Amino acid sequence: MKIPRFSRKTLCIPYAVFLLFFVLVPMLVILLFAFTDDAMHLSFENFIKFFSDPTKLSTIVYSLVIALVTTVVALLIAYPVAYILAQSKIKRKYVILMLFVLPMWINFVLRVNAIRELFNLISQVEGLDGLANANYFKTIFGMVYDFLPFMILPLYTTMMKIDKSLYEASADLGAGGFTTFARVTLPLSMPGIMSGVTMVFLPSMTNYVVSDMLGNAKVTIIGKFIYTYFGNDWHMGSMIALVLLVVVFLSTWLTGGFKADETVRGTNL
């Protein structure tokens, strides 16, 4: 009996099918719906409507700003953590790292709900009651909390990969602590920063569960819009999704996300 032999090509088929039906076809459907009207005739009405509606454009701006603030805050918190962890000589530092990653083992909707309750508790304290209506603050807090591990992990792995002898060389050449950091550590951890930034920035533009639960649904980001429009107008919903896709594509391209040689990105988890 002849044993069927699988070449590498045949092993690719399942992935190709998956990509086709769950990535490519849905995108084409979005494209189709974005440029058609209810009777499924070609129409640019939604396109024009979108770009002439200050509310939708403002929402894109708001989402970008919220995502940007989230990313910056997450980076400011994550960078020292990753740096200290990578530098320190303590044993079992993976335990500390694990503590940061641990929350990811629980579904984030549950965690966001828990934060919501925490904020409710805190805002009952005299003097802190302003917190109840600090919707933007709470939203950004929730997003930073949610995405922090995605920032720490790539930074940590990149920094671990930096050859320790480079620091010695830098010291030998007379560089102080700050100069070493600025001229050796920072440039070499750039791929990690880029990777972390993409992994935090892009999803926070659409993470409307957080803005609904912590922002009391008074903070509206573009993801929520897509959701609401898909309730009764798929065509406009698709148009918004398409615009978002373009924005995401642009920012990934600009930060160099499509380069194949960057092994750091995404693969280090």
Partner 1 sequence: MNLKRISSVLLASCLLLPTLGLLAGCSDEEVTVLKIYNWEEYIDDGGEGSYLYDLALEEGVPEDEIEAPRIIDDFELWYEETYGEKVEVSYSTFGTNEDMYNELKLGNVYDLLCPSDYMIMKLANETKEDGSPYLVQYDESFFDPSVETNYYIRNVSPYIQQQFETNAGLDTPAGEPKWNEYAAGYMWGTTGFVYNPGYVNAEDLEKSGWQTFVDPAYKGKITAKDNVRDTYFAALGLTFEGEKDGLSQLRERFSAGELSQEEYTKAITKIFNATDDETIAKVEPRLMDIKENIYSFETDTGKADMVNGTIWLNYAWSGDAVYALDEAETPDFDENGEPIEGSELLLNYYVPEAGTNLWFDGWVMMSDVVERGTKQAAQAFVNFMSRPDNAMRNSYYIGYTSVIAGENGEMLDYVDWLYGNGEENEEDFYDLSYFFGEETGTAGIYADEEQRTCRQLYAQFPPEEVISRCAVMDYYRKDANDRINELWSRVKAETLDAWAIIVICLVAVAIVLFIVFVKFGGKIDFFRTKPKKGYHRVNK
Using CB under 8 A, list all residues that contact partner 1. Answer: 38, 53-59, 61-62, 116, 120, 123-124, 132-133, 212-213, 216-218, 220, 224-225, 228-233, 236, 250, 254, 256
Q: How far is the CB of 258 from partner 1 (least distance, A)?
A: 12
Q: What does DSSP assign to residue 215?
A: S
Q: How far is the CB of 229 from partner 1 (least distance, A)?
A: 7
Nearer to partner 1, 39 or 95 (CB): 39
Q: How far is the CB of 12 from partner 1 (least distance, A)?
A: 30
Nearer to partner 1, 25 or 96 (CB): 25
Nearer to partner 1, 32 or 250 (CB): 250
Nearer to partner 1, 111 or 116 (CB): 116
Give the DSSP H/E element, type plus range, for residue 72: helix 54-87
Q: What is the DSSP string of 9-52?
A: HHHHHHHHHHHIIIIIHHHHHHHHHHTB-TT--B--HHHHHHHH
Nearer to partner 1, 123 or 268 (CB): 123
Q: How far is the CB of 230 from partner 1 (least distance, A)?
A: 7
Q: How far is the CB of 57 from partner 1 (least distance, A)?
A: 5
**Which two three-digit tokens encode residue 186?**
């920072």
CB 47 within 8 A of CB 35: yes
Burial 38-64 (b: 16+ CB within 10 A, else e): eeeeeeeebeeebeeeeebeebbebbb
For residue 160, which of 74, 85, 97 has the smallest C-alpha distance? 85
Q: How far is the CB of 218 from partner 1 (least distance, A)?
A: 6
Nearer to partner 1, 14 or 54 (CB): 54
User: Residue 63 is which amino acid?
Assistant: S
Q: Express the helix, strand and coil content of the chain in percent, nearest 5 each.
A: 75, 0, 25
Q: What is the DSSP string of 91-138?
A: TTHHHHHHHHHGGGGS-HHHHHHHHHHHHHHHTTSTT-GGGGG-HHHH
Q: How far is the CB of 31 from partner 1 (least distance, A)?
A: 18
User: Residue 22 is which amino acid?
Assistant: F
**Which two three-digit tokens encode residue 194?**
């880029």
Sign of CA dihedral 159, 162, 168, 169: negative
Look at residue 167 and give its three-state secondary structure: helix
Nearer to partner 1, 43 or 216 (CB): 216
Q: How far is the CB of 34 from partner 1 (least distance, A)?
A: 16
Nearer to partner 1, 103 or 256 (CB): 256
